[in-house]
Amino acid sequence: MMDWTDLQDYWRAQLVRLATHGDAGDSAHDLNHLNRVWATAKVLLSTHPQADPLVVMAACYLHDLVNLPKDHPDRKNASRLSALEAKAQLSTLGFPPEQLGGVVHAIEAHSYSAQIRPETIEAKIVQDADRLDALGAVGLARMLHIGGQLGRSLAHATDPLATTRALDDMRYTLDHIENKLLRLPMGMHTVEGRALAQSRAQLLVQFRDQFVAEWMGGA
């Protein structure tokens, strides 16, 4: 029987191959994103020894196997489609069947738009790790990149903080900070994830405030 180091090396190579097959080149959800999610998940795993690291690693690398654009009408089903595809692909590779259900659930539950509550520690770790990548400096860069891809305006011309209008992050990229990203820390399932999320969220607040000052012609 392989030890965890050998098992990790073997399955990571298989998972990377599956995750990058037919890659459409979305730099916000590319292999770099998957590597970061797994790296963060390993930090969370270090304080949750009861969690199955193979299940977590597989879900981290395959959670975006079916990657639909943010404005796609079937976007909310992307995690379910990814889970089904991951199950089929892993089954053909001889992934341990007793761990496959855990991978499927973790992939289904990672999505913000799917609104599926994670029921296992593995799913909670994967969801926290994926959402942490939407915060901080990298999260900010991803937000601006996606906003540009979708043709959204950077901010509302005269009311960037939405003080007299409803938030609308489908039209204004800056609205996404308040409309979604700053809500992520309170939804973290692990203590470590919550602390990291709160720290990274502060950077977004600082950026938002400086952006608005400059946007409105201030310092």
| Domain limit, last residue, from 120, 142, 171 | 120
Both 12 and 85 in one domain: the answer is yes
Query: 137 falls in which pLDDT band (50, 70, 90)?
Result: very high
Does a structural domain hold residue 202? yes
Instruction: Give yes or no: residues 36 and 83 share one domain.
Output: yes
Q: Are residues 172 and 106 in the same domain?
A: no
Q: Which residue, of 120, 150, 181, is where some domain finishes?
A: 120
Would residue 129 count as lying in a domain? Answer: no
Share of residues in the chain with pLDDT > 90 (%)? 75
Is 96 a member of any domain? yes
Which CATH number do you get for residue 185?
1.10.3210.50
Query: Tokens 């259900």 belong to which residue?
Result: 101
Judge if pTM exceeds 0.95: no
pLDDT tier at 74 (50, 70, 90 boundaries)?
low
Q: Is residue 219 part of a domain?
A: yes
Per cent of the chain over pLDDT 70 is 92
Q: How confident is the model at residue 43 (pLDDT cuts 50, 70, 90)?
A: very high
Last-in-domain residue among 63, 95, 120? 120
Q: Do the beta carbons of residue 64 and residue 33 sit within 8 Å?
A: yes
Considering only CA atoms, which of 150, 209, 218, 199 is closest in space to residue 177? Answer: 209
Question: Are 105 and 154 in a shared domain?
Answer: no
- Phi/psi for 172 (5° steps) reads -125, 120
**Pairwise CA distance, residues 148 & 195, whole Å:** 30
Residue 70 falls inside a structural domain: yes
Domain limits at 140?
134-219
Instruction: Verify that 115 and 150 share a domain, yes or no.
Output: no
Tell me, yes or no, whether 73 and 177 share the same domain. no
128 in any annotated domain? no
Q: Is residue 17 part of a domain?
A: yes
* 142 and 113 both lie in a single domain: no
Same domain, 54 and 101: yes
Residues 115 and 146 in one domain: no
Query: Which residue in 102, 145, 143 sits closest to 126, CA to CA?
Result: 102
Total count of domains within the chain: 2
Contact at 8 Å (CB) between 78 and 68?
A: yes
pLDDT in tens, 189-205: 999 999 999 999 999 99
Q: Are residues 5 and 76 in the same domain?
A: yes
For residues 16 and 116, membership in a common domain is answered with yes
User: Within this chain, do residues 155 and 103 fall inside the same structural domain, yes or no?
Assistant: no
- Provide the residue type at 78 as one letter: A
Kindly state the average pLDDT of the residues 124-147: 96
